[in-house]
Amino acid sequence: MRVVLKIKRFNPERDREPYWAEYEVDVEPVDRVLDALEYVKWHLDGTLAFRRSCAHGICGSDAMLINGRNRLACKVLVKELGARITVEPLRGFPVIKDLVVDMEGFFAKYRAIKPYLINDEPPPETERRQSPEERARFDDTTKCILCAACTTSCPSFWANGEYIGPAAIVNAHRFIFDSRDRGAAERLAVLNARLGVWRCRTIFNCVEACPRGIDVTRAIAEVKRALLFSSL
């Protein structure tokens, strides 16, 4: 099967503006978009830059805009997309080169919600107990791989890059609803700020974008509810 891969390219050492380049690639029906990108890099143009590592949707390296949607290149098969595939870098982040974007700002927001268990009580000799129901309460949000597909699909984020974004809220949720955690108030204070969770307009792009199937909007709604009913 032959497909045309149209890639938005930009190398600041060489180009003043981003431009589109087209490559014809022969693919197998089981090939991922990542395989097609690698074909280009390995056999047509070695200067193409993109990130990848695990190649099966776990490490979060290769979120990009594929045919207009945020997806992991390693988790979408070429045959689902038809004969013309367009690939662009994630929106809203500075482009370093081609499909590689600067994620520092994204990780700064992750760090802002204090993404670690907060609990100063001395732990027991063995494990802290947690019932299966308590564990299930935050199961969904433990799946996040920080690929940024959700945040960069969000119109509120496009409108204001300072918005904390769905990924950070998902990770706050993971701790706020963990029965062992005592840091909910600190995190909710961060999320209650001007560029916090209230910027979410429930547009649902993030849910569709999440390659891990996390119900992002629901997590955000639960965080909003926690804010409304907490005594902050």
Partner 1 sequence: MTTVHRYDAVIVGAGGAGLRAALEVARVTPRVAVVSKLYPIRSHTGTAQGGIGAALGNMEEDHWEWHMFDTVKGSDYLADQDAVELMCQEAITCVYELEHWGLPFDRTPDGKIAQRRFGGHTRNFGEAPVRRACHAADRTGHMILQTLYQQCIKHEVTFFNEFHVLDLLLEDNVCRGVVALSLADGELHLFHAKAVLFATGGFGRMYKVTSNARSLTGDGVAIALRRGIPLEDMEFFQFHPTGIYKLGILISEAARGEGGVLRNRQGERFMERYAPTLLDLAPRDIISRCMYTEIREGRGIDGKDYLHLDLTHLGREVIEKKLPDITDFARTYLGIDPVREPIPVQPTAHYAMGGIPTDVRGRVILDEKNTPVLGFYAAGECACVSVHGANRLGTNSLVDILVFGKLAGRDMAEYIRGADFAPLPKDADGPAREECERLLTSNGSESVARLRETLQREMMDKASVFRTQEGLEAMLTTLKELKDRYRRVRLQDKGKIFNTDLQEALELGYLLDLAEVTVVSALARRESRGAHYREDFPKRNDAEWLKHTLAYRINGEFELRYKPVVITRFQPVERKY
Residues that bind partner 1 (CB under 8 A): 11-14, 30, 32, 41-43, 45-47, 49-61, 75, 77, 96-98, 100, 103, 107, 111, 114-117, 119, 123, 125-132, 134-135, 138-139, 142-143, 145-146, 175, 178, 180-181, 213
Smallest separation, CB 73 to ligand FES (Å): 6
Q: Which is nearer to partner 1, 111 or 225 (CB)?
A: 111
Distance CA 101, CA 90 (A): 7
How many angstroms separate the Cα of 110 from the Cα of each of 5, 159, 205? 33, 19, 19
Residues pairing with 21 in the sheet: 7
Closest CA to 143 of 53, 80, 194, 210: 210
Over the Cα atoms of the chain, what is R_g?
20
> Which does residue 72 bind out of partner 1, ligand FES, none, counting CB within 5 to 8 angstroms by kind?
ligand FES
Positions that interact with ligand FES (CB under 6 A) = 52-55, 57-62, 72, 74
Q: Which is nearer to partner 1, 116 or 204 (CB)?
A: 116
Smallest separation, CB 131 to partner 1 (Å): 5
Q: What residue type is 106 in one-letter code?
A: F
Distance CA 214, CA 230 (A): 24
Distance CA 163, CA 116 (A): 21
Smallest separation, CB 203 to partner 1 (Å): 25
